[in-house]
């Protein structure tokens, strides 16, 4: 396994729309393992392939406290959603920034696992938020897109300042 570099906002690669996964092989299994290692190390609860500059419809999630409930979604599609919830979200691609985002409270997702087997996931609460957040990445969308243009510009400036100070 290997740690991967997480692409950070406002990098234009984060706007790339991911393509479907069509080959389920050892290379995909290694990518999944590397993504989990990267996500856990960051630390985070979700990571989309887009965030590590791989533009395939793949995401990994683990919202458990003990980090022992890994979930892999390949080619995910939300087929049902209900209710609304507002949750404060952060993102490994937008480090140190948090904002309230409104999302569906409950979702049903059809996807494949890392071996290509069909699966249906029923999710609510934090898991539903996390899956929706990561699926946005696959469509080239970020949680900051839900913010007003003014707040988005403030985020951009804050991140630029953090990078300057770190250099």
Angstrom distance (rounded) from CA 36 to CA 45: 9
- Sign (positive/negative) of CA torsion 122, 125, 126, 128? positive
From 8, 110, 134, 153, the catalytic residue: 134
Distances (CA, A) of 128 to 19, 34, 40, 61, 162: 22, 23, 19, 10, 30
134 noted as active-site residue? yes
Q: Tell me the catalytic residues.
A: 134
């Amino acid at each position: 396994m290997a740690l991967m570099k997480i692409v950070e906002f406002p990098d234009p690669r984060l706007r790339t729309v991911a393509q479907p996964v069509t080959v389920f092989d050892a290379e995909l299994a290694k990518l999944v393992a590397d993504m989990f290692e990267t996500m856990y190390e960051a630390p985070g609860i979700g990571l989309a392939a887009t965030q590590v500059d791989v533009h395939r419809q793949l995401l990994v999630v683990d919202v458990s406290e003990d980090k022992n409930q890994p979930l892999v979604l390949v080619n995910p599609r939300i087929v049902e959603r209900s209710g609304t919830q507002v949750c404060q979200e952060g993102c490994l691609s937008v480090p140190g920034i948090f904002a309230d985002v409104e999302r569906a409270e409950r979702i049903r997702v059809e996807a494949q696992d890392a071996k290509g087997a069909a699966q249906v996931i029923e999710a609510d609460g934090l898991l539903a938020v996390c899956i929706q957040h990561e699926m946005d990445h696959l469509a080239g969308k970020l949680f900051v897109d839900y913010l007003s243009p003014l707040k988005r510009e403030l985020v951009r400036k804050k991140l630029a300042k953090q990078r300057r100070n770190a250099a």
